[in-house]
């Protein structure tokens, strides 16, 4: 690449809203979504956004868990890949997106689903079946010099350019022309299907700003035509506040398909619109310098910013604070208590690192906007020796539900027992999401 890039990625957003039909019938939301920052080689920040959609029929009756596990495993797999493969090797990353990465995600997803099944009472007399957890998965990576996607199933990815053009970048081909059929992580050979949805797009110095809107099928199926869907993508790309996205998605499902709806939104080229990244208090002087630099650079970016995206300039929205993210994560976990054990079991490394002093409690809490679950775990530390279940003042303040308290207590007990048996350094095979 020649010349410096004139843009950067904004912090991605994601939002999932239960479908109107599922809410009416008392069924769980079978969608899941994630948007986070991961630490790449040399301190580079890579953004990840993913959506997953559980199939939802009686045959796939734990697909709500499956979709959450799919998002969790996508984050962990990408994080591991970032430690092994330099981001500058775009050709290699394309190969990863088309093959090795989805294969890793699927294998880890199967393992995590099997682990969840073993905790179910039904596991006593019924064998584990991946079908039970069947879901789709769409993953988008936003690297400093490229962006790429992979996954399988009926998710859609729309790109909105600064001049208002909208492109459907990726959609599922009609591979079977049969009912509401879609490719799924639970299928044998699922990873190989991801090659069809994998692509890598280099960013160049001349790249114009754009936004990416990743969505589950409930969004598209709520629109009368594809034209309406693209127009909706245009609108969603402008929503920066979580409550705005919540409201929009609730309207989409209630007036549309009734299905669960999820979106994840990434924006590139926001030099003229300083990204509202979370800034820990001790970093504010540095952040101020960055903002000043951004402001100077913005003078040279051209008047097009004043056109369709001018609201981004005139009305920058503040990012969620760590405290807000922490509280929201507690509420999210407590809204689906059966998912809590599996979510926490994916973070054993964080428990261990806190136990062994390799991670600082306060640092994790300050990074709640990037890793809210890690912050919840940190808020449960240090564990009082006398109370059972262990309740820290922070958890009391967060109004954590009994299911969360109990699951955290159980994890701490398990990790303490494991630490007593194992050498302290033997626990770093799975790294928790890290903040830049």
Partner 1 sequence: MPFPNVRLSNRPLHFIYLCDCSGSMAAQGKMQALNQAIRQSLPGMAEVARQNPEARVLVRAVSFADRANWHLAEPTPVDQLEWRDLQAGGITAMGEALELVAGQMQSPPMEERALPPVLVLISDGQPTDDFSAGLGALMCQPWAQKAVRLAIAMGHDADLEVLQQFIGPDPLANLPAGEVPGASGQMPRGMGKSPRRPLQASNATALAQYIQWASTAVVGAASMPTSRIAGSSRDGNIPLPDLPPTLMDPTDDVGPLVW
Helix (H, G, I), strand (E, B) or coil at 4: coil
Does residue 252 interact with partner 1 by CB under 8 A?
yes
Piece of 16-24, 111-119, 321-329, 419-427 that binds partner 1 (CB under 8 A): 16-24
Residue 380: closest CA among 412, 348, 349, 342: 412
Rounded to whole angstroms, the Cα distance separating 116 from 68 reads 12
**Cα angle for residues 292, 324, 362 (degrees, 5° grid):** 80
Instruction: Show the tokens assigned to 321.
Output: 């604070």
Q: Taking CB under 8 A as the rule, which mask of x and - marks residues 157-186 in contact with partner 1?
A: -----------------xxxxxxxxxxx-x
116/220 with CB nearer partner 1:
220
Does residue 125 interact with partner 1 by CB under 8 A?
no
Rounded to whole angstroms, the Cα distance separating 201 from 94 reads 9
Piece of 84-92, 212-220, 378-386, 425-433 that binds partner 1 (CB under 8 A): 212-220
Cβ 51 vs Cβ 214: under 8 Å? yes
Return the bridge partners of 137, or none: 52, 152
128/334 with CB nearer partner 1:
128
Of these, 154, 156, 352, 371, which contacts partner 1 (CB under 8 A)? 154
- Give, in order, the Cα–Cα distances in Å from 423 to each of 268, 357, 411, 420, 435: 44, 14, 18, 8, 26
Rounded to whole angstroms, the Cα distance separating 164 from 303 reads 15
Does residue 231 interact with partner 1 by CB under 8 A?
yes
Does residue 282 interact with partner 1 by CB under 8 A?
no
Does residue 317 interact with partner 1 by CB under 8 A?
no
Does residue 80 interact with partner 1 by CB under 8 A?
no
Helix (H, G, I), strand (E, B) or coil at 234: helix
Of these, 119, 123, 165, 255, which contacts partner 1 (CB under 8 A)? 255
Of these, 224, 282, 314, 386, which contacts partner 1 (CB under 8 A)? 224
The rounded radius of gyration (Å) of the Cα atoms in the chain is 21
DSSP at 100: I
Does residue 57 interact with partner 1 by CB under 8 A?
yes
Does residue 131 interact with partner 1 by CB under 8 A?
yes
**Which residues bind to partner 1, rule: CB under 8 A?**
19-22, 53, 55-60, 131, 134, 136, 154, 174-184, 186-187, 217-218, 220-226, 228, 231-232, 234-235, 238-239, 244, 248, 251-252, 255-260, 311
């Amino acid at each position: 690449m020649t010349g410096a890039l004139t843009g950067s990625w904004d912090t991605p957003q994601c939002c999932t809203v239960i479908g109107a039909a599922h809410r009416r019938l008392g069924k769980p939301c079978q969608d899941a979504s994630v948007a986070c920052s991961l630490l790449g080689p040399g301190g580079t920040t890579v953004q990840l956004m993913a959506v997953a959609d559980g199939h939802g029929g009686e045959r796939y009756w734990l697909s709500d868990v499956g979709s959450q596990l799919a998002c969790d495993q996508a984050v962990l797999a990408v994080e591991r890949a970032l430690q092994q493969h330099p981001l500058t090797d775009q050709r290699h990353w394309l190969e990863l997106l088309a093959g090795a990465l989805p294969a890793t995600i699927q294998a880890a997803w199967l393992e995590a689903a099997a682990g969840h099944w073993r905790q179910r009472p039904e596991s006593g007399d019924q064998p584990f079946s991946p079908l039970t957890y069947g879901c789709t998965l769409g993953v988008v990576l936003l690297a400093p010099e490229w962006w790429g996607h992979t996954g399988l199933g009926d998710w859609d990815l729309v790109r909105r350019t600064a001049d208002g053009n909208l492109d459907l970048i990726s959609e599922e081909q009609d591979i079977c022309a049969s009912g509401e059929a879609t490719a799924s992580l639970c299928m044998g050979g699922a990873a190989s299907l991801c090659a069809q949805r994998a692509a890598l797009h280099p960013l160049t110095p001349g790249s114009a700003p754009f936004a990416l809107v990743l969505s589950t099928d409930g969004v598209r199926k709520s629109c009368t035509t594809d034209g309406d869907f693209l127009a909706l993508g245009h609108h969603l790309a402008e929503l920066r506040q979580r409550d705005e996205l919540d409201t929009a998605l609730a309207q989409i499902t209630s007036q549309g398909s009734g299905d669960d709806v999820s979106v994840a939104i990434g924006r590139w080229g926001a030099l003229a619109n300083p990204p509202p990244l979370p800034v820990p208090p001790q970093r504010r002087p540095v952040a101020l310098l960055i903002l000043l630099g951004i402001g100077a650079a913005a003078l040279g970016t051209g008047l097009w910013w004043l056109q369709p995206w001018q609201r981004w300039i005139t009305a920058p929205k503040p990012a969620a604070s760590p405290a807000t993210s922490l509280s929201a994560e507690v509420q999210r976990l407590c809204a689906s208590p059966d998912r809590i054990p599996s979510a926490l079991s994916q973070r054993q490394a964080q428990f261990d690192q806190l136990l062994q002093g390799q991670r600082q409690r306060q640092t994790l809490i300050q990074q709640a906007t990037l890793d809210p679950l890690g912050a919840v775990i940190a808020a449960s530390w240090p564990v009082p020796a006398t109370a059972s279940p262990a309740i820290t003042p922070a958890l009391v303040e967060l109004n954590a539900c009994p299911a969360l308290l109990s699951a955290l207590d159980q994890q701490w007990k398990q990790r303490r027992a494991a630490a007593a048996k194992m050498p302290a350094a033997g626990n770093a095979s799975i790294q928790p999401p890290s903040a830049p």
